[in-house]
């Protein structure tokens, strides 16, 4: 089951079934409120057939309070998320409660992957591929894939939060510049430097004692 983000910024985006998905596949929406310092305050995960349909809240992250909510039940980060590996490791383990599966989430070039925890488990459960920037201002939108069949709504919500946790915490992503816009910014920077050098040289010359 594959989905594509409709926005380059995964913190605020519809997540719609990818082309070729069964017609009954239901999408998601992610909405993140940010503070004046641009840090995330709350991320809400909705589910429903987009666009124009009534959406159901299936999860929340309260960043200041450091809590995750699934299906109306809220728990602190430390109860559901634990770092795995060394100090600088990006690998984490997620488990909602003792009766649910434990997932290991690892950074993989271009995104994150999740599998059931344990050395014997090698099959991927879900994959998140981040925004891919290409030349001339082009880009490929982020994608989300659930490889395991029969995942419950709570499991999917938990995996979405687990896979996107780091990217949601980061400053909001700005729209990628087109080639024309990028070239314009470079031209402005070059022009500003030239003007600055000319003014600086003129000021220096006017003060030289003959």
Residue 12's alpha-carbon distances to 57, 110, 137, 146, 167, in angstroms, are 15, 19, 21, 20, 11
Instruction: Give me the pLDDT at residue 206, please.
Output: 56
> To which H or E segment does residue 190 belong?
helix 179-206
Question: Any idea what DSSP says for residue 66?
Answer: T
Instruction: Give me the pLDDT at residue 203, please.
Output: 53
φ/ψ (deg, to 5) at 154: -65, -40
Instruction: Give me the pLDDT at residue 176, please.
Output: 57
Return the minimum-mean-pLDDT range out of 8-12, 82-86, 145-149. 82-86
Identify the sign of the CA torsion 144, 150, 153, 158. Answer: negative
Q: For residue range 95-131, what is the model confidence (pLDDT) as tens digits?
A: 998 889 999 999 988 899 999 998 788 899 999 999 9
Q: For residue range 139-167, what is the model confidence (pLDDT) as tens digits?
A: 889 999 999 988 999 999 999 999 999 99
Q: For residue range 18-47, what is the model confidence (pLDDT) as tens digits?
A: 888 887 788 999 999 999 888 899 999 999
pTM passes above 0.75: yes
Instruction: Give me the pLDDT at residue 196, please.
Output: 56
pLDDT exceeds 50 at position 133 = yes
Residue 45's alpha-carbon distances to 11, 59, 144, 179, in angstroms, are 10, 5, 14, 33
Q: For residue range 159-200, what is the model confidence (pLDDT) as tens digits?
A: 999 999 999 988 776 655 554 544 444 444 544 455 455 545
Instruction: Give me the pLDDT at residue 20, please.
Output: 83
Q: Provide the phi-psi class of 35: left if phi over 0, else alpha when psi is between -120 and 50, else beta.
A: beta
Q: Tell me which of 11 and 187 has the higher pLDDT.
A: 11
**What is the average per-residue pLDDT within 84-100?**
85
């Amino acid at each position: 089951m594959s989905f594509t983000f409709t926005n380059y910024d995964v913190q605020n985006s519809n997540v719609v079934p990818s082309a070729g998905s069964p017609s009954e596949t239901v999408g998601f929406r992610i909405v993140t409120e940010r503070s004046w310092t641009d840090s995330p305050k709350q991320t809400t995960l909705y589910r429903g057939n987009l666009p124009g349909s009534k959406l159901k809240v299936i999860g929340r992250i309260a960043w200041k309070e450091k809590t995750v909510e699934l299906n109306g039940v809220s728990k602190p980060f430390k109860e559901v998320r634990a770092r795995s590996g060394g100090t600088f490791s990006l690998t984490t383990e997620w488990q909602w409660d003792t009766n649910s599966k434990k997932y290991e989430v690892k950074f993989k070039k271009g995104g994150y992957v999740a599998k059931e925890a344990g050395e014997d488990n090698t099959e991927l459960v879900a994959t998140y591929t981040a925004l891919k920037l290409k030349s001339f201002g082009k880009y490929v939108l982020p994608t989300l894939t659930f490889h395991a069949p029969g995942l419950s709504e709570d499991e999917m919500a938990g995996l979405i939060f687990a896979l996107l946790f780091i990217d949601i915490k980061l400053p909001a992503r700005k729209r990628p510049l087109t080639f024309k816009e990028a070239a314009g910014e470079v031209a402005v920077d070059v022009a500003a430097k030239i003007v600055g050098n000319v003014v600086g040289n003129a000021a220096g010359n006017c003060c030289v004692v003959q």
